[in-house]
Structure 1
Amino acid sequence: MTRKVRRFSGGVYDLGYHVVWCAKYRRPVLDGRVAIRLEELIRSKAIEKDWEIIALEVMPDHVRLFVRAHPRDSPSHIANQFKGFTSRVLRGEFPHLRSRLPTLWSSSYLVSSVGAVSDDTVQRYIDTQWERPWKKEPRGA
């Protein structure tokens, strides 16, 4: 996948997040029409918020999502927007979800950043800043 840097008035960014959340009690309720509708809802929320979905997989008991977002949106905000919106709509459209579970989603989730380079590469870049040919000498020297 090619790197896509986006611009806004204050700078440029390339932020990607791997987000995972589970159905309450890991119950396998995300199948058939529920799974299809859930995917539609996630995609519509992403369009509304101007987030780019790179990958999305709805499993019977959890959701895995790779999404690119604006720096103004925190990872917790992103996860909670998807969870809250989808829970409200799905529980309204599918009554069996209300009768089987007190809430659709578990209260927890996983969010990890997805970068274009590894931790080691970033650390090596920072550690060797003063070795660059265009740098004169370290500050304070």
Structure 2
Amino acid sequence: MTRYRRNAGATFSLKFHIVWCPKYRRPVLVPPFDARLKEIIAEVAAEADMIIHALEVMPDHVHLFVEADATLAVAEIVNRFKGRSSRLMRAEFPALKSKLPTLWSRSYYAGSVGNVSAEAVKAYIAAQKGA
């Protein structure tokens, strides 16, 4: 695996830790739902050329560490995962429809993850003026 990815106009390393929960944080992501959710997330990632570095499905939330192309905004990334998984999971498992009005809450957490600390970037930028 290389440190950086490239597309036609950019070199980048964009990795995100994303967390989202079922509506009302209900603990519904248990077998067999959890295994199917992992499959759907993997399909979405493959279609968008994203790399999943880590994925854990807990009964009441999902943790995803994903690397994406610079052309994708984090909100679009989250919407792709949540939208497809909600639609397919509720179609395949009618029990989810009876327990929840929608599968996912509207909110999510997204944090950027990098190899360099914020302080190192600030120091590097500050040093550029004198260079």
TM-score of the superposed pair, with normalisation by structure 1: 0.89
Aligned position for 1:87 = 86
Identity %: 50
Aligned position for 1:56 = 55
Partner SS, residue 106 of structure 1: coil
Unaligned runs of 5+ residues in structure 1 are 136-141
C-alpha separation in 1, matches of 2:2 and 2:13: 8
Bigger radius of gyration: 1
- Which structure 1 residue ranges, 4+ long, deviate > 2 Å from structure 2? none
C-alpha separation in 2, matches of 1:64 and 1:20: 5
Amino acid at match of 2:103: L
Aligned position for 1:33 = 32
Amino acid at match of 2:32: R
Q: Tell whether the 8 Å contact from 1:4 to 1:14 is kept in structure 2 after alignment.
A: yes
Unaligned runs of 5+ residues in structure 2 are none
TM-score of the superposed pair, with normalisation by structure 2: 0.96
Aligned position for 1:120 = 119
Task: Kindly tell me the number of residue pairs found equivalent between the two proteins.
Answer: 131
C-alpha separation in 2, matches of 1:30 and 1:86: 12
Structure with more of its chain in strand, by fraction: 1
Q: Measured at CA, do residues 6 and 122 of structure 1 come closer, stay the same or move farther in structure 2, by a change above 3 Å?
A: same
C-alpha separation in 2, matches of 1:97 and 1:80: 19
Aligned position for 1:111 = 110
Aligned position for 2:19 = 20
Instruction: Give, in angstroms, the shift of residue 130 of structure 1.
Output: 3.4
